[in-house]
Structure 1
């Protein structure tokens, strides 16, 4: 069994995967959070697509990539406390820069909860939230919970969701290694507190797949009730993981909105 420990990082590199270290022309940071079981590396190609004026920073969640030994998250409080520390290191270690946040599915929940926490602590807020493939807090899960299923049923649900490559699903050893990470992320995602939330003072752009059976556009429209700022819902021809199948269209949407913020 792998020993998992908590360590207090002293530099932003411990938490953030940074694709662009040439920050001379950077005008805006795009902070990215992955879906359940996902890693920061999925966002590396985005830097090339978005150019030097937008710096892509992807968060390295506990239990994966270079943070294999970090204890998995047991609750939202632990995750958010870690994120506040990590956000606080950015300007200190990488230089001051305005930022926006993108999160997909579980990552969108992280993005929203982090923004609420930042606002409560009266810290600098993102200029905009891109919340992708994630129901609004007021909307119940359409599908039954999966975090507590037995391994066989759990793997079947993971496969049905469509975000895990076939070669990984077929590798039993690898799936046994990934299972605790997936369960931890799914537990936080599915048991997301549904108490009344105060809207944030940040524009929300909800991004949805037209054919998404997990978080369809209808349950994402309700995000309009969670901002005191502007709101828009953008739909793409795709399913829950349209960020892969329709990556180019998604990045053009993000890029266009970021350019407006930089003008």
Structure 2
């Protein structure tokens, strides 16, 4: 068991509030893509009135740059579930983009195993269904920095302006190695479907995730399911935040949150 003070400090490192709204009736727990951080969701509180946005900051990312990054999903989800538990104080949904969607899915299952409150809805963006096989990326731990940079450009999963800046790239590459190893090493295990609705977003020009890969998410809910395609590539979340949050807000209101 964690001492109460230590647990509180751990939770504060993991869960950040861009604009705290304690009076909001619902909460949205947001997880970023590989290499990204909580700042991705800085603008979302203004786009989601009545919803408190809680953004996950993973070790090794942004404000936690000095901490070792996780490179496997199991210890990452275990630590995140412990940190998130004190924040499940009102009805909440989970939103994750790309790697964040996979982590969010496994987080929902881990919270269920711990008999903690589950999400009222799961939003998965730019991520194929967990059971759908994918071609793994080359072993990134053995890649040179130039080779990894070339691969990231081809994947279109990192903003080009970051890869073009040598200082930013040098900070990002170790984080991306760890995050991509989470993707490569992920092994789906079968469990009962989640009881909450699932809503999925995809980019019409995403070279990494095809529209057909998104419909597999329906197998992971016993409730309602829908897919919405938006213009853009794998990082369409950066340009389509308004459309995405509009759908998120309507969906959460629609289930009586």
Q: Is the 8 A contact 1:208 1:220 kept in 2?
A: yes
Structure 2 residue aligned with 1:38: 36
Residues 1:82 and 2:79 aligned together: yes
User: What aligned pairs does 1:174-189 form with structure 2 within 5 A after superposition?
Assistant: 174-189=168-183
User: What aligned pairs does 1:74-153 form with structure 2 within 5 A after superposition?
Assistant: 74-91=71-88, 96-142=89-135, 144-145=137-138, 147-148=140-141, 149-153=143-147
Tell me, in whole angstroms, the C-alpha distance in 2 between the residues paired with 1:260 and 1:173. 45
Tell me, in whole angstroms, the C-alpha distance in 1 between the residues paired with 2:61 and 2:217. 30
- Runs of 4+ that moved beyond 4 A: none
Unmatched 5+ stretches in structure 2: 1-5
Structure 2 residue aligned with 1:169: 163
Deviation at 1:46, TM superposition (A): 0.6
After TM superposition, the score normalised by the length of structure 2 is: 0.90
Deviation at 1:11, TM superposition (A): 5.5
Tell me, in whole angstroms, the C-alpha distance in 2 between the residues paired with 1:213 and 1:72. 26
Residues 1:67 and 2:64 aligned together: yes
Tell me, in whole angstroms, the C-alpha distance in 2 between the residues paired with 1:35 and 1:175. 16
- Which of 240, 249, 254 is residue 255 of structure 1 equivalent to? 249
Tell me, in whole angstroms, the C-alpha distance in 2 between the residues paired with 1:237 and 1:139. 23
Deviation at 1:142, TM superposition (A): 4.6
Tell me, in whole angstroms, the C-alpha distance in 2 between the residues paired with 1:144 and 1:186. 8
Change (3 A) 1:165 1:207: closer
Unmatched 5+ stretches in structure 1: 1-6
Tell me, in whole angstroms, the C-alpha distance in 2 between the residues paired with 1:248 and 1:21. 20
